[in-house]
A and B are shown apart, each in its own frame.
Chain A
Amino acid sequence: GENVEQHPSTLSVQEGDSAVIKCTYSDSASNYFPWYKQELGKRPQLIIDIRSNVGEKKDQRIAVTLNKTAKHFSLHITETQPEDSAVYFCAATNDYKLSFGAGTTVTVRA
């Protein structure tokens, strides 16, 4: 099955700086890569996703890049704000079920 590795496990950034989270996947057939944000005590919520036929996607301060050859994808958050503090999960799939990374706890320092 698919194996997704995520780095770093924790990330502390100054408000206004950028944050980057990186993930690698093992199954070259994977074709869909979503990112989820989970606030403390809440459910994971989709923030952005990318398909294998696209190299980059942007939504306001959030962007995701995909390198199919190297089998890795990254989340970029620019101009970080306190409300960006949360746990972020990457995931990958080529069928019905998502395989998730272990998560990155992002803390934005005021």
Chain B
Amino acid sequence: NAGVTQTPKFQVLKTGQSMTLQCAQDMNHNSMYWYRQDPGMGLRLIYYSASEGTTDKGEVPNGYNVSRLNKREFSLRLESAAPSQTSVYFCASSQKGGTGYTFGSGTRLTVV
């Protein structure tokens, strides 16, 4: 039972490049989330999917897009990376609204 799996673990991008962060969960959770973590700012919600087929903006959605591919998978796309998007990105899932969050291991992204 892997829980929440994120790929890749590390990535370096040049400004203007695009990439997709992948997230998959095997716990049959309904809700999935993408957060970014920056020093001194905690975890800030980028986008979330309350259930399969729905996605909504979080606190800091600008520059990102998401796709809830199916119940298991929720991807985050950076269309044109900027240095301000250098961060650690965490995917999470939960069964019942906000409770029992399980986080992935994170993706450390550097944009140069």
Contact = CB atoms under 8 A, between A and B. Distances in A.
B81 to A, nearest CB: 23
A44 B90 contact: yes
Which of A1, A36, A42, A44 has the largest number of chain B CB atoms within 10 A?
A44
Interface residues of A, number: 24
Contacts, number: 56
Contacts of B31: 96
Contact of A100 (B40, B43, B50): B43
B98 A98 contact: yes
Interface string B23-51: 00000000101010000111111001010
Given A32-B98, A43-B105, A101-B42, A96 B90 contact: no
Given A34-B101, A44-B43, A89-B43, A97 B48 contact: yes
B: interface residue count bin:
20 to 34
From DSSP, what is the main secondary structure of chain A's interface residues?
Answer: loop
Interface in A55-110: 89, 93-103
Contacts of B97: 93, 95-96
B31 to A, nearest CB: 5
A52 B44 CA distance: 23
Interface of B: 31, 33, 35, 40-45, 48, 50, 58-59, 90, 94, 97-101, 103-106
Given A45-B103, A97-B45, 4 more contacts: A32-B99, A46-B100, A97-B58, A102-B40
Going nearest first, the 7 A-B pairs with the smallest beta carbon separation are A93-B98, A43-B103, A102-B42, A100-B43, A100-B42, A96-B97, A96-B50
